[in-house]
Structure 1
């Protein structure tokens, strides 16, 4: 039995360990024994909280998807222009390359959203692992659908606000938000599959340029300068 008062911290550690294990070995190679080793706990602790590998995989997938929304929500404030808000969205759903291999996966809010982090290469590996399974697993499909519904509704609100203020070209917020999210997801697959642009460079520029055209005169910061 885990120590009283340590439940949330212990569960968060196990989720971080599960994601780390999936990034290293894949979902098929993720075992409760390996997760216990990464989490520095016993297999019994993991079974106590998550029962089995399937439940742990589901909760890890939820945490992985929720990470992006939490980081975006944390960084956006009402003083921003709609273009700046969309820039924050793109920075997280299609991040620019960075060499951050020394950092570790941490998706718990317990230490503050600012401390949450998934290294660049781990994001790509987790993305491929989870979505390859999602294509065949109805439970994971439901989780992905609910998460992306929330995401594109959030983007749609930004676009709708920009429309009303005249900062964004008149478009349907729902379909445009859906398209932006679909573009980012597709470009993420191309990144993970190492399919380069014909003219070189980071493929996120395709999505970034689309958003800049959408915003017209409104300037969007380039995340590479942050």
Structure 2
């Protein structure tokens, strides 16, 4: 990736790209933030206050660990300027971006901070859903913070397994593992 290629893809001059991002490192950080924010925007656009907690978790899992069958192709679009429904990252590209960003974050403190902030926000969102489920009597979660941490850890691990093509023993989509975990909280 070069700033020239980004400018060419964005159909603008390199000067415009450097004006907004200054350098390649800042561009990488902002791209990483957009990649992580994409999931929250998609989730929040589908959550409704009429849903129960399990339905809310289902929407969350649908976006943070889409089923293998949700492999629709198309161009990457992490901008909601044309509407949230037009935002899209094909499944295979999600896996590539996931690996690319996270492998860079291992060596880059600024990217680690972006990952940490993003995951903390994700955990807090899941905690809110679990607490709502407790409050409404739909779930029984003793420690929603730990339960949310565990669920997100499963999603990250299962995402890496998908990228490495490690199939579950029963040949199902590996998301069922997270769904089974969530069911243990349902009343």
Q: What TM-score range do you get, normalising by the shorter chain?
A: over 0.9
Give matches, 1:1-226, under 5 Å: 30-97=1-68, 98-101=70-73, 103-216=74-187
Structure 1 segments, 4+ long, off by >4 Å, are none
For residues 142 and 164 of structure 2, what CA distance do their matches in structure 1 show? 32
TM-score (norm 2): 0.95
Q: Is the 8 A contact 2:95 2:163 kept in 1?
A: yes
For residues 110 and 57 of structure 1, what CA distance do their matches in structure 2 show? 21
| Deviation (angstroms), 1:114 | 2.1
Superposed CA offset, 1:188-213 (max 9, x none):
01111111112212111111121123
* 3-state SS in 2 of match to 1:214: coil
For residues 136 and 130 of structure 1, what CA distance do their matches in structure 2 show? 10
Q: Larger radius of gyration, structure 1 or 2?
A: 1
| Deviation (angstroms), 1:171 | 2.1
* Structure 2 gap segments, 5+ residues each: none
* 3-state SS in 2 of match to 1:78: coil
For residues 58 and 43 of structure 1, what CA distance do their matches in structure 2 show? 18
For residues 113 and 141 of structure 2, what CA distance do their matches in structure 1 show? 32
**Could you say what the CA RMSD is over the residues aligned between the two structures, in angstroms?**
1.2
For residues 185 and 176 of structure 1, what CA distance do their matches in structure 2 show? 14
TM-score (norm 1): 0.79
